[in-house]
Structure 1
Amino acid sequence: MSSGAGLESLVDQTISVITNDGRNIVGVLKGFDQATNIILDESHERVQQLVLGLYIIRGDNISIVGELDEELDANLELSKLRAHPLKPVIH
Protein backbone atom coordinates (compact mmCIF):
# COMPACT_ATOMS: atom_id res chain seq x y z
CA MET A 1 0.00 0.00 0.00
CA SER A 2 1.37 3.38 -0.84
CA SER A 3 1.36 6.06 1.81
CA GLY A 4 -0.80 9.13 1.38
CA ALA A 5 -4.45 8.65 0.54
CA GLY A 6 -4.44 4.92 1.39
CA LEU A 7 -3.20 5.27 4.96
CA GLU A 8 -4.63 8.75 5.55
CA SER A 9 -8.15 7.31 5.76
CA LEU A 10 -7.02 4.86 8.47
CA VAL A 11 -5.51 7.41 10.91
CA ASP A 12 -7.04 7.02 14.40
CA GLN A 13 -8.54 3.66 13.42
CA THR A 14 -7.52 0.22 14.65
CA ILE A 15 -5.46 -1.56 12.01
CA SER A 16 -3.66 -4.87 11.63
CA VAL A 17 -0.08 -4.90 10.31
CA ILE A 18 1.75 -7.99 9.11
CA THR A 19 5.51 -7.51 9.02
CA ASN A 20 7.99 -9.14 6.67
CA ASP A 21 8.98 -11.61 9.39
CA GLY A 22 5.35 -12.73 9.85
CA ARG A 23 4.47 -10.82 13.03
CA ASN A 24 0.88 -9.55 13.31
CA ILE A 25 0.66 -6.26 15.21
CA VAL A 26 -2.68 -4.60 15.95
CA GLY A 27 -3.02 -1.00 17.13
CA VAL A 28 -4.42 2.46 16.47
CA LEU A 29 -2.69 4.18 13.55
CA LYS A 30 -1.41 7.54 14.79
CA GLY A 31 0.84 8.57 11.94
CA PHE A 32 2.99 7.61 8.97
CA ASP A 33 5.48 9.14 6.56
CA GLN A 34 6.44 8.89 2.89
CA ALA A 35 8.47 5.72 3.57
CA THR A 36 5.38 4.09 5.13
CA ASN A 37 7.00 4.09 8.57
CA ILE A 38 3.98 3.92 10.87
CA ILE A 39 3.23 4.79 14.49
CA LEU A 40 0.73 2.62 16.36
CA ASP A 41 -0.79 3.35 19.77
CA GLU A 42 -2.42 0.83 22.11
CA SER A 43 -0.69 -1.86 20.07
CA HIS A 44 -0.23 -5.54 20.79
CA GLU A 45 1.25 -8.49 18.98
CA ARG A 46 -0.82 -11.51 18.04
CA VAL A 47 -1.02 -14.62 18.82
CA GLN A 48 0.74 -14.20 22.15
CA GLN A 49 -1.03 -10.87 22.81
CA LEU A 50 2.17 -9.13 23.86
CA VAL A 51 1.32 -5.60 24.98
CA LEU A 52 3.53 -3.14 23.09
CA GLY A 53 1.97 0.27 23.87
CA LEU A 54 3.16 3.05 21.55
CA TYR A 55 5.07 1.35 18.73
CA ILE A 56 6.90 2.51 15.59
CA ILE A 57 7.30 0.14 12.65
CA ARG A 58 9.77 0.89 9.87
CA GLY A 59 8.12 1.03 6.46
CA ASP A 60 10.60 -1.41 4.92
CA ASN A 61 9.47 -4.05 7.44
CA ILE A 62 5.76 -3.81 6.57
CA SER A 63 4.16 -6.39 4.28
CA ILE A 64 0.45 -5.62 4.77
CA VAL A 65 -1.60 -2.93 6.51
CA GLY A 66 -5.33 -3.58 6.80
CA GLU A 67 -8.41 -2.19 8.48
CA LEU A 68 -9.60 -4.25 11.46
CA ASP A 69 -13.23 -5.24 12.06
CA GLU A 70 -13.28 -4.80 15.85
CA GLU A 71 -16.54 -6.72 16.39
CA LEU A 72 -15.35 -9.74 14.41
CA ASP A 73 -11.91 -9.49 16.02
CA ALA A 74 -13.40 -9.56 19.54
CA ASN A 75 -14.99 -12.96 18.79
CA LEU A 76 -11.82 -14.70 17.55
CA GLU A 77 -10.26 -17.51 19.58
CA LEU A 78 -6.65 -16.53 18.93
CA SER A 79 -5.20 -19.58 20.68
CA LYS A 80 -6.77 -21.77 17.97
CA LEU A 81 -5.53 -19.73 14.98
CA ARG A 82 -2.40 -20.79 13.10
CA ALA A 83 -0.89 -19.45 9.90
CA HIS A 84 1.87 -20.61 7.61
CA PRO A 85 5.06 -18.48 7.81
CA LEU A 86 5.50 -15.86 5.09
CA LYS A 87 8.19 -16.44 2.50
CA PRO A 88 11.12 -13.98 2.66
CA VAL A 89 10.57 -10.64 0.93
CA ILE A 90 13.18 -9.96 -1.72
CA HIS A 91 13.90 -6.28 -2.39
Structure 2
Amino acid sequence: MATLGGYLNKKVLIVTSDSRILVGTLEAADQSTNLVIPLPLPPSQLSLESSELHLANTHLAPQVLSSAQERVIQTPESGEPSVEVPLGLYLVRGDNVCTIGLVDEALDESIDWTQVKGSAIGGTKHV
Protein backbone atom coordinates (compact mmCIF):
# COMPACT_ATOMS: atom_id res chain seq x y z
CA MET A 1 0.00 0.00 0.00
CA ALA A 2 1.10 3.53 -0.64
CA THR A 3 2.21 5.69 2.26
CA LEU A 4 -0.53 6.57 4.71
CA GLY A 5 1.25 9.56 6.28
CA GLY A 6 -1.38 11.93 4.89
CA TYR A 7 -4.06 10.00 6.79
CA LEU A 8 -2.46 10.45 10.23
CA ASN A 9 -4.78 11.93 12.88
CA LYS A 10 -7.72 11.70 10.47
CA LYS A 11 -10.81 9.50 10.52
CA VAL A 12 -10.46 6.52 8.16
CA LEU A 13 -12.59 3.58 7.03
CA ILE A 14 -10.96 0.19 6.47
CA VAL A 15 -12.45 -2.72 4.53
CA THR A 16 -10.81 -6.05 5.39
CA SER A 17 -10.48 -9.14 3.20
CA ASP A 18 -13.04 -10.91 5.40
CA SER A 19 -15.60 -8.16 4.57
CA ARG A 20 -15.45 -6.21 7.83
CA ILE A 21 -15.85 -2.42 7.89
CA LEU A 22 -13.74 -0.70 10.55
CA VAL A 23 -13.75 3.03 11.34
CA GLY A 24 -11.39 5.06 13.54
CA THR A 25 -8.74 7.79 13.73
CA LEU A 26 -5.36 6.78 12.29
CA GLU A 27 -2.57 7.58 14.74
CA ALA A 28 0.40 5.63 13.31
CA ALA A 29 1.28 3.48 10.27
CA ASP A 30 3.94 1.06 9.03
CA GLN A 31 5.03 -0.12 5.59
CA SER A 32 3.19 -3.46 6.01
CA THR A 33 -0.19 -1.83 6.73
CA ASN A 34 -0.51 -3.65 10.08
CA LEU A 35 -3.25 -2.06 12.18
CA VAL A 36 -3.86 -1.84 15.93
CA ILE A 37 -7.22 -0.29 16.71
CA PRO A 38 -7.78 0.76 20.33
CA LEU A 39 -11.03 2.22 21.66
CA PRO A 40 -10.46 4.81 24.42
CA LEU A 41 -12.07 3.54 27.62
CA PRO A 42 -12.11 4.90 31.17
CA PRO A 43 -8.91 3.79 33.03
CA SER A 44 -10.97 1.51 35.28
CA GLN A 45 -11.96 -0.56 32.22
CA LEU A 46 -8.51 -0.84 30.64
CA SER A 47 -6.70 -4.15 30.93
CA LEU A 48 -3.59 -2.72 29.25
CA GLU A 49 -2.66 0.89 29.98
CA SER A 50 -1.56 2.77 26.88
CA SER A 51 1.70 3.66 28.66
CA GLU A 52 2.47 -0.10 28.85
CA LEU A 53 2.23 -0.56 25.08
CA HIS A 54 5.72 -0.24 23.61
CA LEU A 55 6.79 -1.32 20.14
CA ALA A 56 10.22 -2.91 20.26
CA ASN A 57 10.90 -2.63 16.52
CA THR A 58 9.80 0.73 15.17
CA HIS A 59 10.17 -0.50 11.58
CA LEU A 60 7.42 -3.03 12.42
CA ALA A 61 5.25 -0.51 14.27
CA PRO A 62 1.59 -1.13 13.42
CA GLN A 63 -0.96 1.46 12.37
CA VAL A 64 -2.96 2.67 15.34
CA LEU A 65 -6.61 3.74 15.18
CA SER A 66 -8.46 5.34 18.07
CA SER A 67 -12.22 5.51 18.69
CA ALA A 68 -12.49 2.33 16.61
CA GLN A 69 -15.73 0.58 15.76
CA GLU A 70 -17.03 -1.97 13.29
CA ARG A 71 -20.04 -1.16 11.12
CA VAL A 72 -22.26 -4.18 10.57
CA ILE A 73 -24.60 -3.30 7.68
CA GLN A 74 -27.68 -5.52 7.38
CA THR A 75 -29.26 -6.59 4.08
CA PRO A 76 -32.59 -5.03 3.00
CA GLU A 77 -34.31 -8.39 3.62
CA SER A 78 -33.14 -8.45 7.23
CA GLY A 79 -35.51 -7.12 9.85
CA GLU A 80 -32.51 -6.19 12.02
CA PRO A 81 -31.09 -2.65 12.15
CA SER A 82 -27.48 -2.07 11.13
CA VAL A 83 -25.16 -1.47 14.10
CA GLU A 84 -21.85 0.13 15.05
CA VAL A 85 -19.92 -2.16 17.42
CA PRO A 86 -17.12 -0.76 19.67
CA LEU A 87 -14.06 -2.99 19.30
CA GLY A 88 -11.77 -2.32 22.24
CA LEU A 89 -8.20 -3.24 21.27
CA TYR A 90 -8.17 -4.90 17.87
CA LEU A 91 -5.34 -6.04 15.58
CA VAL A 92 -5.65 -6.21 11.79
CA ARG A 93 -2.72 -7.70 9.89
CA GLY A 94 -1.65 -5.75 6.84
CA ASP A 95 -2.38 -8.67 4.51
CA ASN A 96 -6.01 -8.56 5.69
CA VAL A 97 -6.52 -4.91 4.64
CA CYS A 98 -8.30 -4.54 1.28
CA THR A 99 -8.71 -0.78 1.29
CA ILE A 100 -8.34 2.23 3.56
CA GLY A 101 -9.71 5.70 2.87
CA LEU A 102 -10.43 9.04 4.48
CA VAL A 103 -13.90 9.67 5.93
CA ASP A 104 -15.80 12.94 5.42
CA GLU A 105 -16.58 13.44 9.12
CA ALA A 106 -19.48 15.89 8.62
CA LEU A 107 -21.19 13.54 6.15
CA ASP A 108 -20.40 10.47 8.29
CA GLU A 109 -21.92 12.01 11.42
CA SER A 110 -25.06 13.06 9.52
CA ILE A 111 -25.87 9.43 8.59
CA ASP A 112 -28.08 7.29 10.84
CA TRP A 113 -26.14 4.04 10.41
CA THR A 114 -28.94 1.97 12.00
CA GLN A 115 -31.09 2.77 8.93
CA VAL A 116 -28.44 1.89 6.32
CA LYS A 117 -29.01 -1.37 4.41
CA GLY A 118 -26.80 -3.00 1.79
CA SER A 119 -25.57 -6.19 0.22
CA ALA A 120 -22.78 -8.16 1.84
CA ILE A 121 -19.27 -7.44 0.61
CA GLY A 122 -17.72 -10.59 -0.82
CA GLY A 123 -14.59 -11.97 0.84
CA THR A 124 -11.26 -12.53 -0.86
CA LYS A 125 -9.24 -15.68 -1.25
CA HIS A 126 -5.46 -15.59 -0.81
CA VAL A 127 -3.74 -17.82 -3.32
1:42 to 62, 67, 75: 67
User: What is the distance in 1 between the residues matched to 2:90 and 2:28?
Assistant: 11
53 and 3 in structure 1: CA distance in 2 versus 1, 3 angstrom threshold: farther
User: What is the distance in 2 between the residues matched to 1:46 and 1:59?
Assistant: 19
Unmatched segments (≥5 aa) in structure 1 = none
Unmatched segments (≥5 aa) in structure 2 = 36-63, 73-82
User: What is the distance in 1 between the residues matched to 2:89 and 2:28?
Assistant: 11
Using the TM superposition, give the Cα deviation of residue 79 of structure 1 relative to its aligned residue in structure 2, in angstroms: 1.4
Does 1:25 pair with 2:60? Answer: no
Larger of the two Rg values belongs to structure: 2
User: What is the distance in 2 between the residues matched to 1:81 and 1:65?
Assistant: 20
Deviates more, 1:42-51 or 1:11-20: 42-51
For the aligned residue pairs, the C-alpha RMSD in angstroms reads 1.6
Higher relative contact order (CA 8 A, sep 6+): 2
Q: Deviations over 1:9-59 (max 9, x none)?
A: 001111011111211111011112111112211111113211124433211
For these two proteins, the number of residue pairs brought into alignment is 88
1:70 to 82, 105, 116: 105
Normalised by the length of structure 2, the TM-score is: 0.62
The structure that is strand-richer by fraction is 1
Normalised by the length of structure 1, the TM-score is: 0.83
